[in-house]
Structure 1
Amino acid sequence: MRTTHHASGFGLVASRQSPAARTTGIVGVLTAVWRLYRNRCQIARLQDLDDRQLLDMGLKREDLHEALTSAFFENPGSYLTRASRNRANLFYRGVRHD
Protein backbone atom coordinates (compact mmCIF):
# COMPACT_ATOMS: atom_id res chain seq x y z
CA MET A 1 0.00 0.00 0.00
CA ARG A 2 1.25 3.46 -0.84
CA THR A 3 1.80 6.32 1.57
CA THR A 4 -0.94 8.34 -0.11
CA HIS A 5 -3.51 5.66 0.84
CA HIS A 6 -2.51 5.93 4.48
CA ALA A 7 -2.54 9.73 4.47
CA SER A 8 -5.93 10.01 2.80
CA GLY A 9 -7.56 7.47 5.12
CA PHE A 10 -7.54 9.76 8.16
CA GLY A 11 -10.20 12.15 6.86
CA LEU A 12 -12.74 9.41 6.15
CA VAL A 13 -13.69 8.72 9.75
CA ALA A 14 -16.63 10.89 10.80
CA SER A 15 -16.34 12.45 14.21
CA ARG A 16 -19.35 12.25 16.49
CA GLN A 17 -20.28 15.20 18.60
CA SER A 18 -21.41 14.84 22.13
CA PRO A 19 -24.96 15.95 22.98
CA ALA A 20 -23.55 18.87 24.97
CA ALA A 21 -21.52 20.07 21.97
CA ARG A 22 -24.55 19.76 19.70
CA THR A 23 -26.70 21.69 22.17
CA THR A 24 -24.07 24.40 22.46
CA GLY A 25 -23.95 24.70 18.67
CA ILE A 26 -27.73 24.97 18.38
CA VAL A 27 -27.91 27.57 21.16
CA GLY A 28 -25.17 29.56 19.42
CA VAL A 29 -27.04 29.56 16.11
CA LEU A 30 -30.33 30.53 17.77
CA THR A 31 -28.58 33.33 19.67
CA ALA A 32 -27.08 34.68 16.45
CA VAL A 33 -30.46 34.60 14.68
CA TRP A 34 -32.14 36.35 17.62
CA ARG A 35 -29.43 39.04 17.65
CA LEU A 36 -29.86 39.67 13.91
CA TYR A 37 -33.63 39.93 14.32
CA ARG A 38 -33.28 42.32 17.26
CA ASN A 39 -30.79 44.50 15.31
CA ARG A 40 -33.24 44.73 12.41
CA CYS A 41 -36.04 45.77 14.79
CA GLN A 42 -33.83 48.52 16.23
CA ILE A 43 -32.89 49.75 12.76
CA ALA A 44 -36.57 49.80 11.81
CA ARG A 45 -37.15 52.10 14.81
CA LEU A 46 -34.63 54.54 13.32
CA GLN A 47 -37.17 55.24 10.58
CA ASP A 48 -39.20 57.17 13.17
CA LEU A 49 -36.49 59.85 13.24
CA ASP A 50 -36.62 62.79 10.86
CA ASP A 51 -34.00 63.38 8.17
CA ARG A 52 -32.09 65.97 10.20
CA GLN A 53 -31.69 63.57 13.12
CA LEU A 54 -30.52 60.81 10.81
CA LEU A 55 -28.02 63.14 9.17
CA ASP A 56 -26.66 64.01 12.63
CA MET A 57 -25.74 60.32 12.90
CA GLY A 58 -24.31 60.37 9.38
CA LEU A 59 -27.19 58.38 7.90
CA LYS A 60 -29.84 58.86 5.27
CA ARG A 61 -33.15 57.13 4.68
CA GLU A 62 -31.61 55.26 1.77
CA ASP A 63 -29.04 53.76 4.15
CA LEU A 64 -31.81 52.46 6.40
CA HIS A 65 -33.65 51.00 3.43
CA GLU A 66 -30.51 49.30 2.14
CA ALA A 67 -29.73 47.85 5.56
CA LEU A 68 -33.24 46.51 6.09
CA THR A 69 -33.49 44.96 2.61
CA SER A 70 -30.12 43.21 2.83
CA ALA A 71 -29.97 39.44 3.24
CA PHE A 72 -31.22 38.27 6.63
CA PHE A 73 -27.94 36.73 7.75
CA GLU A 74 -25.95 39.87 6.95
CA ASN A 75 -25.53 42.22 9.88
CA PRO A 76 -27.40 45.42 8.96
CA GLY A 77 -25.65 47.37 11.71
CA SER A 78 -22.28 46.94 10.04
CA TYR A 79 -23.74 48.38 6.82
CA LEU A 80 -24.98 51.46 8.68
CA THR A 81 -21.62 51.87 10.41
CA ARG A 82 -19.80 51.81 7.07
CA ALA A 83 -22.26 54.27 5.50
CA SER A 84 -21.90 56.68 8.42
CA ARG A 85 -18.10 56.49 8.42
CA ASN A 86 -17.93 57.02 4.67
CA ARG A 87 -20.16 60.09 4.94
CA ALA A 88 -18.04 61.44 7.82
CA ASN A 89 -14.84 60.93 5.80
CA LEU A 90 -16.37 62.86 2.90
CA PHE A 91 -17.39 65.64 5.28
CA TYR A 92 -13.91 66.01 6.74
CA ARG A 93 -12.39 66.07 3.26
CA GLY A 94 -14.62 69.02 2.45
CA VAL A 95 -16.95 67.16 0.11
CA ARG A 96 -20.55 67.96 0.90
CA HIS A 97 -22.71 64.87 0.36
CA ASP A 98 -26.18 65.51 1.79
Structure 2
Amino acid sequence: MRTTQHALDLDLAAGKPSLASRSATVIGVLTGVWRLYQDRRQIARLHDLDDRQLLDMGLKREDLHEATTSSFFDSPGCFLTRASRNRANLFYRGVRHD
Protein backbone atom coordinates (compact mmCIF):
# COMPACT_ATOMS: atom_id res chain seq x y z
CA MET A 1 0.00 0.00 0.00
CA ARG A 2 1.15 3.49 -0.72
CA THR A 3 1.39 6.30 1.81
CA THR A 4 -1.57 8.15 0.29
CA GLN A 5 -3.75 5.10 0.72
CA HIS A 6 -2.78 4.89 4.41
CA ALA A 7 -3.64 8.56 4.90
CA LEU A 8 -7.05 8.05 3.35
CA ASP A 9 -7.71 5.06 5.59
CA LEU A 10 -6.86 7.13 8.67
CA ASP A 11 -9.21 9.95 7.61
CA LEU A 12 -12.10 7.54 7.30
CA ALA A 13 -11.39 5.96 10.69
CA ALA A 14 -11.28 9.31 12.53
CA GLY A 15 -15.03 9.94 12.38
CA LYS A 16 -16.75 12.70 14.30
CA PRO A 17 -15.07 14.24 17.35
CA SER A 18 -16.48 13.13 20.67
CA LEU A 19 -18.60 15.34 22.89
CA ALA A 20 -15.73 15.66 25.35
CA SER A 21 -13.30 16.93 22.70
CA ARG A 22 -15.86 19.39 21.31
CA SER A 23 -16.66 20.75 24.76
CA ALA A 24 -12.94 21.03 25.55
CA THR A 25 -12.48 23.06 22.36
CA VAL A 26 -15.36 25.38 23.24
CA ILE A 27 -14.06 25.84 26.78
CA GLY A 28 -10.58 26.58 25.42
CA VAL A 29 -11.92 29.25 23.07
CA LEU A 30 -14.02 30.85 25.80
CA THR A 31 -11.05 30.85 28.18
CA GLY A 32 -8.90 32.57 25.56
CA VAL A 33 -11.52 35.25 24.94
CA TRP A 34 -11.87 35.81 28.70
CA ARG A 35 -8.09 36.24 29.03
CA LEU A 36 -8.05 38.79 26.22
CA TYR A 37 -10.87 40.70 27.90
CA GLN A 38 -9.02 40.69 31.23
CA ASP A 39 -5.80 41.88 29.53
CA ARG A 40 -7.66 44.81 28.00
CA ARG A 41 -9.15 45.74 31.38
CA GLN A 42 -5.69 45.73 32.96
CA ILE A 43 -4.28 47.87 30.17
CA ALA A 44 -7.13 50.33 30.68
CA ARG A 45 -5.91 50.69 34.28
CA LEU A 46 -2.46 51.63 32.98
CA HIS A 47 -4.01 54.81 31.58
CA ASP A 48 -4.30 56.03 35.19
CA LEU A 49 -0.51 56.18 35.53
CA ASP A 50 1.41 59.30 34.62
CA ASP A 51 4.00 59.40 31.83
CA ARG A 52 6.99 59.06 34.18
CA GLN A 53 5.56 55.87 35.71
CA LEU A 54 4.87 54.44 32.27
CA LEU A 55 8.41 55.25 31.12
CA ASP A 56 9.74 53.40 34.19
CA MET A 57 8.07 50.31 32.73
CA GLY A 58 9.43 51.11 29.28
CA LEU A 59 6.08 52.22 27.89
CA LYS A 60 4.60 55.37 26.42
CA ARG A 61 1.03 56.58 26.04
CA GLU A 62 1.20 55.80 22.33
CA ASP A 63 1.97 52.16 23.17
CA LEU A 64 -1.14 51.96 25.36
CA HIS A 65 -3.25 53.56 22.66
CA GLU A 66 -1.99 51.16 19.99
CA ALA A 67 -2.54 48.17 22.28
CA THR A 68 -6.12 49.12 23.10
CA THR A 69 -7.06 49.98 19.51
CA SER A 70 -5.65 46.77 18.06
CA SER A 71 -7.91 43.94 16.96
CA PHE A 72 -9.78 42.25 19.82
CA PHE A 73 -8.15 38.90 19.14
CA ASP A 74 -4.61 40.32 19.14
CA SER A 75 -3.03 40.04 22.56
CA PRO A 76 -2.42 43.58 23.86
CA GLY A 77 -0.19 42.25 26.64
CA CYS A 78 2.21 40.74 24.10
CA PHE A 79 2.23 44.03 22.18
CA LEU A 80 3.16 46.01 25.32
CA THR A 81 5.83 43.50 26.29
CA ARG A 82 7.42 43.80 22.85
CA ALA A 83 7.28 47.61 22.95
CA SER A 84 8.89 47.69 26.39
CA ARG A 85 11.66 45.26 25.39
CA ASN A 86 12.40 47.18 22.21
CA ARG A 87 12.67 50.43 24.16
CA ALA A 88 14.96 48.76 26.73
CA ASN A 89 17.19 47.39 23.95
CA LEU A 90 17.47 50.84 22.43
CA PHE A 91 18.34 52.29 25.83
CA TYR A 92 21.12 49.78 26.45
CA ARG A 93 22.53 50.40 23.00
CA GLY A 94 22.80 54.08 23.87
CA VAL A 95 20.00 55.25 21.59
CA ARG A 96 17.85 57.87 23.28
CA HIS A 97 14.18 57.21 22.51
CA ASP A 98 12.10 59.54 24.70
TM-superposed CA distance for 1:10, in Å, is 3.5
In the alignment, structure 1 residue 75 sits paired with structure 2 residue 75: yes
Q: CA RMSD in A?
A: 1.8
Equivalent position of 1:49 in the other structure: 49
TM-score by length of 2: 0.87
Within-5 A mapping of 1:5-20 = 6=5, 9-10=8-9, 13=12, 15-20=15-20
Unaligned runs of 5+ in 1: none
Taking the aligned partners of 1:4 and 1:20, their CA distance within structure 2 comes to: 31
Q: 2:24 is matched by which residue type in structure 1? A: T
Count of residue pairs brought into register by the alignment: 97
Alignment deviations for residues 15-48 of structure 1 (CA, whole Å, 9 cap, x no partner): 2111111111111100000000000110011000
Name the structure 2 match of 1:60: 60
Cα distance change, pair 4–65 in 1 and its aligned pair in 2 (3 A): same
TM-score, normalization by structure 1: 0.87
Q: Distance in 1 between matches of 2:85 and 2:4?
A: 53
Structure-1 residue corresponding to 2:22: 22
Q: What letter is aligned with 1:45?
A: R
Same amino acid, percent of matched pairs: 68
Question: Deviating runs (4+, > 6 A) in structure 1?
Answer: none
